[in-house]
Structure 1
Amino acid sequence: MYLEFGMTAQAPHPPIDTSKPHSARVYDALLGGKDNYPVDQQVAELLPVEAKVGARQQRSFMNRATAWLAGEGVTQFLDIGTGIPTEPNLHQTAQEIRPSARVVYCDNDPIVLRHAEALLVSRPEGVTDYVHADVREPAIILDAARETLDFDRPIALSLLGLLHFLPDSEDPIGIVRTFTDAMAPGSYVVLSHGASDVNEEIGQRSEDEYQKGGIQLALRSREEFARFFEGLEIAAPGLVKAPEWFNGTPAPTQEFSGIYVAVARVP
């Protein structure tokens, strides 16, 4: 078993700022993880209980979607906004089906980098790599990912629990389009997004609590989320809530969800 790293991961570790919450560490706290700090825990504890449910639902959706894509023959994965490793990780799910799968993870939290070196370890037949970068700089991510992935062949791009931290002023649709424009036909995009139109009271409370911690949360409606898929071919079962997405796998437990998800093919 081995872990292959690109240039960015070989650079000196950037410092971890424990005075400010980070969305990846808040997410870890919501999942019941231990790789977070009091500032992250304070935000997580003040969020509605539905936020914890949503974090779990997104994680489960990631595994179902990855398994389906690997079953469809996809052998390359680019996961941006990876978060602190929580088993099963994406590469474990993909390589269980496609042992030779190549996976590139990306996040901008230094603590994720430190855990990635120890935990995101590939099977011998495959490769895992980690890029320390921000989704707002897609060109940097693409350049680093090309060291491991062949962009002339299909790639599955995952952006889970991330886009709702990008306000419209940062052009999240344009960022996603930059990635999809670089991907070969037959590639896939896997997205999730917090909903603004499922329970407005819960959504507003979540936005307020994140804002108090200095993190901007930009929930969007189903119609607004659908704009991320313009020009793409949404796969069955369509744009649905997280527990409603399953494709050739056992149906998950149906429960309240404020998370929209979809998988779409690049034509």
Structure 2
Amino acid sequence: MTEISAASLEARKRIRTDQPHTARIWNYWLGGKDNYPVDQAAGDQIRELHPGIGDYALADRQFLGRAVRYLTGQCGIRQFLDIGTGLPTADNTHEVAQRVAPDSRVVYVDNDPIVLAHAEALLTSTPEGSTAYLDEDLRNIDAILEQAAKTLDFSKPVALVLLGVVIFIEDDEEAYGVVRRLMDRLPSGSHLVLSHTITRPDMPDVDAAVAFWNENGTPKLTQRTPEAVSRFFKGLELLEPGVVSCNRWRPDSSEVPAEVAMFGGVGRKA
């Protein structure tokens, strides 16, 4: 804990409060307090361009909860590698998993100083389980897996969680390659949980909101079509209902919600 605390203090020195940041805007839309006026102003402007944009943050978060509960409760998964963690908020991966299975082990990975500064909130755990945090970039696969192996047993199935993170890799082949290389290193029975902002002709306001963000915020975002998002699951058994609007992935209610432009899915490695 002491090591992370020292890193957190150093990370706070690297945080810019004069430029909006996607993690803090996401936090603002979720009703969190880890954001600044510049993030609130940008978040409000984006919401003017696309009034439903705040629903994406909620849909993505609820998708995470449902996916983790399913994998823990129905598939017996006890290990999670959550890359692109984002700012801690309610119902983080370890909290959801350990409610179902207290012995669950979770490793969080992010390279954002904003997230590192708040990493202590991710390091709570049940006595039976374990959590850890790594300050690494998604592309540094060898370093991530080597360090994660101190907490996770890679001879047993792992759920790889990539929520809204491959959108930061602009090149398609690099993005697909990173996900494929990670899954190749995980054993049979492992799962991929992935979400991604989409672009579609019937959602032009989403394109306008992303364009505004890319002109004014950091880091830049890359949209992909639903078909392109499905390609991340190539070679995996895509669980029903496939790659869909995050709020339509096994919803808790029988009522079918309106789609949001954040799509996600869960796939199993045979």
State the TM-score, normalized to the length of structure 1.
0.90
Query: What does residue 161 of structure 2 align with?
Result: 158
Query: What does residue 68 of structure 2 align with?
Result: 66
1:218 paired to 2:222: yes
Query: What does residue 53 of structure 1 align with?
Result: 55
Matches within 5 A, 1:199-218: 199-215=202-218, 216-218=220-222
Amino acid at match of 1:186: G
Q: Distance in 1 between matches of 2:157 and 2:140?
A: 22
Preserved contact between residue 198 and residue 258 of structure 1 (Cα < 8 Å)? no
Cα displacement string for residues 100-125 of structure 1 (whole angstroms, at most 9, x for unaligned residues): 00001111222322322145400111
Cα displacement string for residues 215-263 of structure 1 (whole angstroms, at most 9, x for unaligned residues): 322111111111111111101121211121117x554761231121100
Query: What does residue 95 of structure 2 align with?
Result: 92
Residues 231 and 126 (structure 1), Cα distance of their counterparts in 2 relative to 1, 3 Å cut: same
- Deviation of 1:9 (Å): 7.5
The answer to which of 75-84 and 164-173 deviates more is 164-173
Matches within 5 A, 1:41-190: 41-47=40-46, 48-71=50-73, 72-168=75-171, 171-190=174-193
Amino acid at match of 1:175: V
Query: What does residue 28 of structure 2 align with?
Result: 29
Residues 9 and 73 (structure 1), Cα distance of their counterparts in 2 relative to 1, 3 Å cut: farther
Amino acid at match of 2:147: A
SS at match of 2:137: coil
- Deviation of 1:8 (Å): 7.4
SS at match of 1:130: strand
Q: Distance in 1 between matches of 2:106 and 2:5?
A: 15
Q: Distance in 2 between matches of 1:170 and 1:32?
A: 35
Residues 31 and 234 (structure 1), Cα distance of their counterparts in 2 relative to 1, 3 Å cut: same
Preserved contact between residue 243 and residue 252 of structure 1 (Cα < 8 Å)? no
SS at match of 1:189: strand
Q: Distance in 2 between matches of 1:58 and 1:16?
A: 25
The answer to which of 183-192 and 161-170 deviates more is 161-170
SS at match of 2:82: strand
- Deviation of 1:194 (Å): 1.0
Amino acid at match of 2:61: R
1:244 paired to 2:244: no
Q: Distance in 2 between matches of 1:252 and 1:36?
A: 33
Preserved contact between residue 203 and residue 219 of structure 1 (Cα < 8 Å)? no
Cα displacement string for residues 179-228 of structure 1 (whole angstroms, at most 9, x for unaligned residues): 10110110000011111016342122122121122432211111111111
- Deviation of 1:149 (Å): 0.7
Aligned alpha-carbon RMSD (Å): 2.2
Q: Distance in 1 between matches of 2:5 and 2:255?
A: 36
Q: Distance in 2 between matches of 1:8 and 1:232?
A: 35
The answer to which of 32-41 and 58-67 deviates more is 32-41
Q: Distance in 2 between matches of 1:198 and 1:131?
A: 38
SS at match of 1:77: strand
Residues 253 and 120 (structure 1), Cα distance of their counterparts in 2 relative to 1, 3 Å cut: farther
- Deviation of 1:46 (Å): 1.5
Amino acid at match of 1:197: R
Residues 133 and 199 (structure 1), Cα distance of their counterparts in 2 relative to 1, 3 Å cut: farther
Query: What does residue 40 of structure 1 align with?
Result: 39
SS at match of 1:171: helix
Preserved contact between residue 237 and residue 246 of structure 1 (Cα < 8 Å)? yes
State the TM-score, normalized to the length of structure 2.
0.89
Preserved contact between residue 163 and residue 193 of structure 1 (Cα < 8 Å)? yes
Q: Distance in 2 between matches of 1:252 and 1:54?
A: 18
- Deviation of 1:41 (Å): 2.2
